[in-house]
Amino acid sequence: MKEYNCSVRVHSRHHLELKSEYPLLQDAKKTDYKMDCYFFFPSQLGVTSKRIGVKNFISNIRIYTRFSTPALSLKMLIDRENDLSPLSRIRNFMDIPEIEQPRKKDILLYELQVLTNMYRSEVDNTIELMGQEIQKQLMESMCCKRINLFLKEVKAFLEEFRKLHALFISPRITDVQRTALAWADESISIITERAMNRLFSYTQNITSPEKLLKAYEKITREETEYRKSMNYQYLYMEEDSRSGERLAYRENVLKKWSQSAMYMNNEDSRAPHRIGHIIAGIAAGLAMIFAVLVTIFAGKVFSPNSMPWILLIVFSYIFKDRIKEVSRERMKRLLPRFTSDQLSLLFDPTMDKRVGVSRGYAGFGKAGQVPDKIRKMRFRTPNPFRPIFPEQDVIHYQRTIDLDSRKLRGNHSRINSVTEIIRIHIVDWLREMDDPKDIFYRLENMKKLKIKGNRVYKVHMIMSLKNDNLRETEELYHYCVVINKTGILRIENLDEIL
């Protein structure tokens, strides 16, 4: 059983997204994780330190850290006795004495946002699982029963959730809290409608789906009428040419609103830059001491302005520059925690407390310089001619994340893991690529037939995830990013293929 969840996907044609989920250790005060990601590039792309550089590579990366959405079934969400359910906590809020409610008003907004996220996650995961069962051609009767049960649970959840509107008529509820309920309600309606559309596509693979298809259409129609009756903005207007644009925009706004409760505040630290300047100053000082000592020595041994004196002074300045660079690199390696290329302080948005720190490092090299286990995984497919090909260029990107798991669990009893999302802008990888279109020919029946080709390049990614205190939990993932000059075409999970 895997300790971590890791995935790589196309965020856009020019953006690669890496998502890693790190469990919070239950009995530990601190939780420390390390991720190493190795990108292997064909040598003709020129992805090297000289052309791109660490600073430019780091500037093309965006990091988002959030709490993983807690997993609760729809039945558990509507269970009035379940203390972990946001629905139960919202009802309990209404029982708080009036004098206490203003002080805890933000809790109500937070629980509505979390409820929306939990509903979205549970519905998406359930539908994905049922889609896989249908595609595997498992027993159709079992699939239909499971879908019918799911539809009943969805209806029960919607009915129970929408009873909150009656509670929110209370004069103790503010306009902001009522708006939050409306936004959560509109979000949940949209999630439900999209879920029915996905189920519709999956169920068409079943032999006799007519009854289920009508059920999906009925729920979709009811949700549309419900949003119309509540004057919500997510409504399709056939006569409006921009209606689709408005729907996409509204859905995105609501999704960002609900998920904002799950994201930690990342505050970039200036410490690495300050310490980098200090190290550079110390290195320059050491180099200057060397140059001064050589100058004094030359003045005592050789006549001023003589040829040996001039040569010694020149060589001392040449070595001075090398000493400065080597000293700076050595000191950076001795102080990795303070000289990272990225350093972010993580704050819990609900409590405004620091709960962790994350660091990022980047380096350029060659395939022969990576650790043996990484190299074996990358080149596990035999190729007797590999030694005669140019060695592949490698970017090694490392991240560490240190979390105060005790503080996080104390603030959020439902949270059991943290998700880190890394988005990499890859436009620098594409500059040396050939045009994507190519033409091939074949002969058939005395005719020359044209074949349209697509010139692609393959960038292999190998990710290592491990707990710094439990090295035996390390897990490796192998992906292949297929790209051409226009951007990312697809991502292949080589662990699944092999």
With contact defined as beta carbons under 8 Å apart, do 343 and 271 qualify?
yes
Q: What is the pLDDT of residue 55?
A: 87
The DSSP output letter for 264 is P
CA distance 362 to 395: 7
225 vs 311, higher pLDDT: 225
- Give the strand pairing for 457-467 and 31-41: antiparallel
User: What CA dihedral angle connects 74, 76, 77 and 82, to 10 degrees?
Assistant: 180
Q: Looking at the DSSP assignment, which residues form a beta bridge with residue 450?
A: 441
The lowest-confidence range among 35-44, 183-192, 291-300 is: 291-300
> Token digits for 373?
């286990």
Dist CA 116 CA 190 (whole Å): 11
CA-to-CA distance for 223 and 321, rounded, in angstroms? 71
pLDDT reported for residue 185: 96
pLDDT at 334: 59
Confidence check: pLDDT of 112 > 90: yes
Checking if the pLDDT of 366 tops 90, the result is yes
In this structure, the number of other CB atoms found within 10 A of the CB of residue 426 comes to: 19
| Torsion on CA atoms 90, 91, 97, 98, rounded to nearest 10 | 70
CA atoms of 316 and 131, how far apart (whole Å): 71
Residue written as tokens 């200057």?
288
Q: What end-to-end distance do the CA atoms of the chain give, in Å?
A: 19
The share of the chain scoring above pLDDT 70, in percent, equals 87
Q: Is the pLDDT of residue 338 over 70?
A: no
Rounded Cα–Cα distance for residues 392 and 482 (Å): 16
Instruction: Return the minimum-mean-pLDDT range out of 88-97, 164-173, 422-431.
Output: 88-97
The band of 2, judged by pLDDT with boundaries at 50, 70 and 90, is low
Instruction: Tell me which amino acid residue 382 is.
Output: P
The secondary structure element, H or E, covering residue 164 is: helix 164-167
- Identify residue 132 by its one-letter amino acid code: Q
Q: Quick check: helix, strand or coil at residue 54?
A: helix
* DSSP for 335-401, written as a single string: -TTTS-SEEEEEEETTTTEEEEEEEEEEEEEEGGGS-HHHHHHHT-S--TTGGGSPPPEEEEEEEEE
Q: How sure is the predictor about 276, in pLDDT bands with cuts at 50, 70 and 90?
A: low
What is the structure's pLDDT at 1?
39
* Burial class of residue 353 (count of CB atoms within 10 Å of its CB; 0-12, 13-18, 19+): middle
